[in-house]
């Protein structure tokens, strides 16, 4: 028996990195998957690669109209919605906090934080009565902040608190809400986190991870798979560190 047989999932930011790994893994385990990304070509390419159990949808997760349309199209294609993974995220480049301009601050909060509110508004009413799972991708950045990423770190702190608060409020409706806190991962976003992508800088980041390597999309997908599956039916409100020991 596949672990997500019969489930319908929507994964944001699934055209690349962690989200792509999550979408591929969910489909492998029997889910129907809506691959949502602001980069339409990437969303369509990912869905095509996955095959007939996936659809690719263009949406900016910070815009209510886009979020509502993505949820509507998912239900139109697959009949329901069981799992939402709020994975899409961006950061300002690693630099002193006072150098980040207001429009960039607003954009990082809109994509990383407001999107969770918008998807809750769109998807929770569909889950009421049937139950569901919402997984928010936070970060070790929200638990053990590094300098140079102050406003990004703060968005992830908000993601973790939203997760716990949503979990207690939605528990009576059998909707579980969990977060993942990945450590620095091998994705296109990594160089922006580091500020500059040099072997020395990579080593510096790596040295802070006891298991001695960056996370991979498959590491994050494996954790998301567990939380999304019925094996985790008694688990809600956790912020699961997938971090090789970074936060100890």
Ligand X SMILES: NC(=O)c1ccc[n+]([C@@H]2O[C@H](COP(=O)([O-])OP(=O)(O)OC[C@H]3O[C@@H](n4cnc5c(N)ncnc54)[C@H](O)[C@@H]3O)[C@@H](O)[C@H]2O)c1
| Structure tokens given for 193 | 């986190």
Taking the least distance from each CB to ligand X, the nearer of 148 and 185 is 185
152 is catalytic: yes
Number of residues that bind ligand X (CB under 6 A): 30
**Near ligand X by CB under 6 A, which window of 92-100, 118-126, 185-193, 225-233?**
185-193
For residue 193, state whether it binds ligand X (rule: CB under 6 A).
yes
For residue 19, state whether it binds ligand X (rule: CB under 6 A).
yes
Among positions 56, 132, 185, 244, the unique one binding ligand X when judged by CB under 6 A? 185
For residue 17, state whether it binds ligand X (rule: CB under 6 A).
yes
Q: What is the smallest separation between the CB atom of 111 and ligand X, expressed in angstroms?
A: 4
| Per-residue burial over 153-191, b = 16 or more CB atoms within 10 Å of its CB, e = otherwise | bbbbbbbbebbbebbeebeeeebbbbbbbbbbbebebbe
Taking the least distance from each CB to ligand X, the nearer of 22 and 81 is 22
Q: What is the smallest separation between the CB atom of 112 and ligand X, expressed in angstroms?
A: 6
Q: What is the smallest separation between the CB atom of 6 and ligand X, expressed in angstroms?
A: 27
Contact present, 92 and 47 (Cβ < 8 Å): no
| Structure tokens given for 28 | 């492998």
Q: What is the smallest separation between the CB atom of 40 and ligand X, expressed in angstroms?
A: 10
Taking the least distance from each CB to ligand X, the nearer of 187 and 229 is 187
**Near ligand X by CB under 6 A, which window of 2-10, 53-61, 125-133, 196-204?**
53-61
| Strand (E) or helix (H) holding 117 | helix 115-127
- Within residues 22-41, the interface with ligand X by CB under 6 A covers 37-39
Q: What is the smallest separation between the CB atom of 204 and ligand X, expressed in angstroms?
A: 14
For residue 158, state whether it binds ligand X (rule: CB under 6 A).
no
CA-to-CA separations, 231 to 80, 176, 194, 221, in angstroms, rounded:
21, 12, 36, 15
Phi-psi region of 82 (alpha: psi -120 to 50; beta: other; left: phi over 0): alpha
**Near ligand X by CB under 6 A, which window of 13-21, 92-100, 126-134, 170-178?**
13-21
Show contacts of 13-17: CB within 8 Å, 24+ apart: 13/37, 13/61, 13/87, 13/88, 13/89, 14/43, 14/46, 14/85, 14/87, 15/39, 15/41, 15/42, 15/43, 15/45, 15/46, 15/56, 16/42, 16/187, 16/188, 17/185, 17/187, 17/188, 17/189, 17/217
Q: What is the smallest separation between the CB atom of 183 and ligand X, expressed in angstroms?
A: 6
3-state helix vs strand vs coil in the chain, percent to 5 = 50, 15, 35
Q: Which of 26, 78, 119, 152 is catalytic?
A: 152
Residues with active-site annotation: 152
Interface residue list for ligand X (CB under 6 A): 12-13, 15-19, 37-39, 42, 59-62, 87-90, 111, 137, 139, 182, 184-185, 187-190, 193
């Amino acid at each position: 028996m596949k672990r997500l047989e019969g489930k319908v999932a929507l994964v944001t930011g699934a055209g690349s990195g962690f989200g792509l790994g999550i979408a591929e893994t969910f489909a492998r385990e029997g889910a129907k998957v809506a691959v949502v990304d602001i980069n339409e070509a990437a969303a369509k390419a990912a869905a095509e690669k996955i095959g007939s159990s996936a659809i690719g949808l263009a949406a900016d997760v910070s815009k209510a109209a886009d979020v509502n349309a993505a949820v509507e199209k998912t239900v139109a294609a697959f009949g329901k919605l069981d799992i939402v993974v709020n994975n899409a995220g961006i950061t300002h480049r690693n630099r002193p906090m006072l150098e980040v301009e207001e429009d960039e601050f607003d954009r990082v909060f809109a994509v990383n934080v407001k999107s969770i509110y918008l998807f809750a508004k769109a998807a929770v009413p569909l889950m009421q009565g049937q139950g569901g799972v919402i997984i928010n991708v936070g970060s070790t950045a929200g638990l053990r902040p590094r300098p140079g990423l102050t406003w990004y770190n703060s968005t992830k702190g908000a993601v973790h608190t939203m997760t716990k608060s949503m979990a207690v409020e939605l528990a009576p409706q059998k909707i579980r809400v969990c977060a993942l806190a990945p450590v620095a991962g091998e994705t296109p976003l990594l160089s922006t986190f580091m500020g500059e992508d040099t072997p020395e800088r990579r080593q510096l980041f790596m040295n802070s991870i006891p298991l001695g390597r960056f996370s991979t999309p498959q590491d994050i997908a494996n954790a998301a798979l567990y939380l999304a599956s019925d094996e985790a039916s008694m688990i809600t409100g956790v912020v699961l560190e997938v971090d090789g020991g970074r936060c100890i």
